[in-house]
Structure formats: structure tokens, C-alpha cells
């Protein structure tokens, strides 16, 4: 019976192609926009997640900042607070304390210090570098891909060896891309009128994402050096650490861990400090905020889609009423042939559900395609879940049933004599 009804519905819809199409249009636009927004929303979420993954979702940052109030409870004005002194900075002892206390929950502390930028010149070749000191954890977090050379030797960090890793861009600029020729050579740089030199022990692949604006030739790439070497050359770097990156162990809630560590450090080391304390933030927290905003935008757009879907639904209802008036005699005939009210109702509800389902399917396909295009332009990829699509399909069918019910019921209640005599 249902199959027969679906067949009848398709015949009725085919008979009036233009009208059927226009009726469907509202549903198509509504569902297409819903699905498109879902696709784009998911793509954005994926993008945020993958960026987070690159930057280290497990990273949490501790930094020294001005306290909100002094020991007397008076507010401290950020701008008039005294400058930081040596005793305000984070120390090596604190870091060792953190590592010891949170053993197992913390993978390590990533520490880096930059000597500064320099232009390295050799004849008519030149390259822009930033001398970046890293400790083993920071090196690990950077996740560099070594293209040539052996990299740092085990003792280099402790000894503060004057060795470095340069980018393939640097090799392109200075050695015409010959990596083997670069190994063993010296990087000679001048920062703030001080001369520094490091022996190249490896070449890493430059990650374009971290590139600054500028031409290929002038791009600044890191000259990666053991942190101790940098600290020995510029003791300020060793004594003036105002920010550290703690890498949380896998499975740790980095936001919660950051709060715990900050609380611990503040109670132990900054309780008596009149102006400064430690604060924290985690990438996860940032990402969650961003995702909340993205979701809010997504829902706002979905609400717009829902309104157009509603308008489409009213259109379906309108057309169904017109169609039923046009087919009054048919309804009368069917009743004379023994169709019950229930059967007539089912016939028209089926018709309306089929319009919405077909329109919905077309809308979903268009929405998926458009969503993919927009996601591609944004440089992300994402698909709505299968559940989401099925939900949309069921929703559009339910929609048809809902908006078809009233007209169908009107048809079912027609008096057979009046219907038969209708001109």
C-alpha cells in the first residue's frame, strides 16, 4: 500500500514538474544551507584541532605577570608597577621543583631563548637568521625534520657546544642548496654588535607555516643552537626567564594541570613577592574558546537555514492545498471506489513527504558540494557526520509529514458527493 502510494506520489509530482521543482526549492535551499554550514563548521573545527596538534595541544604556558592586588589588598596598576628584578624571574630551581613534583604528569619543560636576528653575509650570498637556543624538550616540541647531518650530539646541551642546525632555506641561500657542503661550515653572525659563531651539524626542513611575510630570499629562519650555548653568551637569557612552556604528559588535562602548577609555584615562590606572580594559559583553553565562538557562529547560521526551511515547509503546505483543490474530483472518485479517509490522508501525506525527501536529498547533495568548495577555499577539510546527514533526511521527511498533514486531512474529510460534483 505504501509502495503504491509512493508510486502515485511520484506520478502526481512528475505531472507538474515546474510546480514540484518550485515547491522543492525552499526545501532544497534550506537543507543545502544547513548541510553547508555543518560541513564548514566541521572543517573549521578540524582546522583548529590540527593547528593545535602542530603547536602542541599538551603545552601549557606559565608566565610572570603583575599581581591583581598587593599584600594589603590594594589594586596594583599594571602600568605603574615596578620593573621586574632578578628575584622576580622563574629560576632553574623552580623548574626542577616542578619536574620533580609533577613527575609522570609532566613530560618536560620546554625552554628557549633567542639571541636575536642577524643577516649572515658571505660575498654576494646572504641569509637572514634568528639565533634560537633550545633545551632538549623545546627541540623535541619543535619536531624538526633533519635532512642532513647528525644533529646535536648527546653532550651538546650540557656542554653548551657552539653547534647549530640551519634550515634548508639557509643552505639554498648560502650554499646553492648543497647540504653536504654546508655541514661543518661556520655560521658567523653579529647581533647587537656582538660576534657569534656556530658550526653547522645538521640541516632541518623549514616549515612554511612559520614563515614570516617577505620574499623567499629574505625569509628569516631559525639557527637552532643548544640553549646553554646561548645562555653562556648572553647571561641575561639564563637569569631573566619570564615564561616557560610545560609539556603535559599524554592524557593529562593541560588546563587543569596548568592551574595546579601555577597555584603551587605561587604559594611556594611568589607568596612574599609584592608585585609579581605566575599566571598560566593553555592552548587547549584557547582552542576551546575559539571553538565555542565557531560553534556559536555555526548555530546562528543554522538558525537562518532553519528559517528558510520553515518558509519552504509553508510553501509545501500551500502547494498541497492547491493540489488537493485541483484534485477534488479525483478524491471523490477514490472515495466512491472505496478509499477510506485514512487512505486518502496517507496518499497526500506520502506525496508531501516525497516532495520533501527528494528536495531534501538534492539539498543535502548541493550543501555537501558547496561546503566542500568553501572548506577547500579555507584550506581545511571536513565532512558532516553520517548521523547528521541521516538526521537531515529524516528531518526533511518529518517536515513533509508535518506540513502535509493539515492539507491531507482536509482532503480526507471531503464529502464524497461534493467532491464528485466539484467542477
Smallest distance from other proteins to CB 328, Å: 12
Q: How far is the CB of 319 from other proteins (least distance, A)?
A: 17
**Nine-digit cell string for 42:** 566541521
- Looking at the Cβ atoms of 104 and 342, the one nearer to other proteins is 342
Least distance from C-beta 49 to other proteins, angstroms?
53
Q: One symbol per residue from 324 to 363: x for binding other proteins (CB under 8 A), - otherwise; what is it? A: -----xx-xxxxxxxxxxxx--------------------
**CB nearer other proteins, residue 343 or residue 395:** 343
Lay out the site mask for other proteins across 290-329 (x = CB under 8 A, - = otherwise). Answer: ---------------------------------------x
Q: In terms of CB distance, is 258 or 412 closer to other proteins? A: 412
**Which CB sits closer to other proteins, 14 or 209?**
14
Which of 10-18, 129-137, 282-290, 300-308 is the region at the interface with other proteins (rule: CB under 8 A)? 10-18
Q: Which three cell numbers stand for residue 299?
A: 548555530
The nearest distance, CB 413 to other proteins, in angstroms, is 10
**CB-wise, 145 or 329, nearer to other proteins?**
329
C-alpha torsion sign, points 220, 226, 231, 232: negative
**422 touches other proteins (CB under 8 A):** no
Tell the smallest beta-carbon distance from residue 51 to other proteins (Å).
57
Query: Which C-beta is closer to other proteins: that of 338 or that of 387?
Result: 338
Closest separation in Å from C-beta 347 to other proteins? 11
Closest contact distance (angstroms) between CB of 356 and other proteins is: 21
Please report, as ranges, the residues that interact with other proteins according to CB under 8 A. Answer: 1, 4, 8, 11-12, 15, 329-330, 332-343, 416-417, 420
Amino acid at each position: 500500500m505504501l509502495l503504491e502510494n509512493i508510486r502515485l506520489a511520484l506520478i502526481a509530482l512528475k505531472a507538474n514538474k515546474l510546480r514540484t521543482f518550485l515547491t522543492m526549492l525552499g526545501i532544497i535551499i534550506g537543507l543545502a544551507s544547513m548541510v553547508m554550514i555543518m560541513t564548514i563548521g566541521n572543517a573549521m573545527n578540524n582546522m583548529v584541532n590540527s593547528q593545535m596538534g602542530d603547536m602542541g595541544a599538551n603545552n601549557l604556558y606559565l608566565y610572570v605577570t603583575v599581581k591583581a592586588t598587593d599584600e594589603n589588598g590594594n589594586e596594583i596598576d599594571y602600568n605603574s608597577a615596578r620593573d621586574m628584578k632578578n628575584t622576580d624571574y622563574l629560576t632553574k630551581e623552580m623548574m626542577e621543583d616542578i619536574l620533580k613534583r609533577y613527575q609522570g604528569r609532566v613530560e618536560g619543560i620546554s625552554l628557549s631563548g633567542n639571541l636575536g636576528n642577524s643577516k649572515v653575509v658571505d660575498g654576494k650570498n646572504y641569509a637572514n637568521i634568528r639565533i634560537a637556543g633550545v633545551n632538549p624538550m623545546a627541540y623535541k616540541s619543535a619536531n624538526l625534520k633533519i635532512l642532513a647531518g647528525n644533529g646535536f650530539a648527546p653532550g651538546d646541551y650540557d656542554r653548551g657546544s657552539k653547534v647549530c642546525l640551519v634550515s634548508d632555506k639557509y643552505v639554498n641561500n648560502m650554499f646553492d642548496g648543497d647540504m653536504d657542503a654546508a655541514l661543518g661550515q661556520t655560521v658567523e653572525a653579529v647581533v647587537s654588535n656582538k660576534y657569534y659563531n656556530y658550526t653547522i651539524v645538521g640541516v632541518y626542513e623549514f616549515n612554511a607555516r612559520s614563515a614570516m611575510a617577505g620574499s623567499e630570499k629574505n625569509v628569516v629562519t631559525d639557527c637552532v643552537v643548544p640553549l646553554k650555548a646561548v645562555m653562556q653568551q648572553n647571561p641575561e637569557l639564563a637569569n631573566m626567564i619570564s615564561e616557560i612552556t610545560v609539556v603535559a604528559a599524554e592524557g593529562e588535562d593541560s588546563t587543569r594541570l596548568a592551574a595546579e602548577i601555577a597555584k603551587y609555584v605561587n604559594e611556594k615562590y611568589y607568596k612574599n613577592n609584592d608585585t609579581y606572580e605566575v599566571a598560566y594559559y593553555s592552548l587547549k583553553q584557547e582552542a576551546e574558546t575559539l571553538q565555542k565562538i565557531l560553534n556559536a557562529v555555526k548555530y546562528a547560521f543554522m538558525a537562518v537555514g532553519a528559517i528558510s526551511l520553515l518558509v519552504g515547509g509553508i510553501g509545501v503546505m500551500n502547494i498541497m492545498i492547491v493540489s488537493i483543490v485541483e484534485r477534488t474530483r479525483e478524491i471523490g472518485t477514490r472515495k466512491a471506489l472505496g478509499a477510506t479517509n485514512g487512505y486518502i490522508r496517507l496518499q497526500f501525506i506520502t506525496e508531501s513527504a516525497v516532495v520533501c525527501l527528494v528536495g531534501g536529498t538534492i539539498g543535502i547533495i548541493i550543501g555537501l558540494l558547496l561546503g566542500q568548495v568553501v572548506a577547500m577555499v579555507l584550506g581545511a577539510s571536513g565532512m558532516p557526520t553520517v548521523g547528521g546527514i541521516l538526521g537531515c533526511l529524516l528531518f526533511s521527511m518529518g517536515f513533509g509529514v508535518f506540513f502535509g498533514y493539515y492539507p491531507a486531512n482536509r482532503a480526507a474529510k471531503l464529502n464524497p458527493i461534493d467532491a464528485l460534483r466539484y467542477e
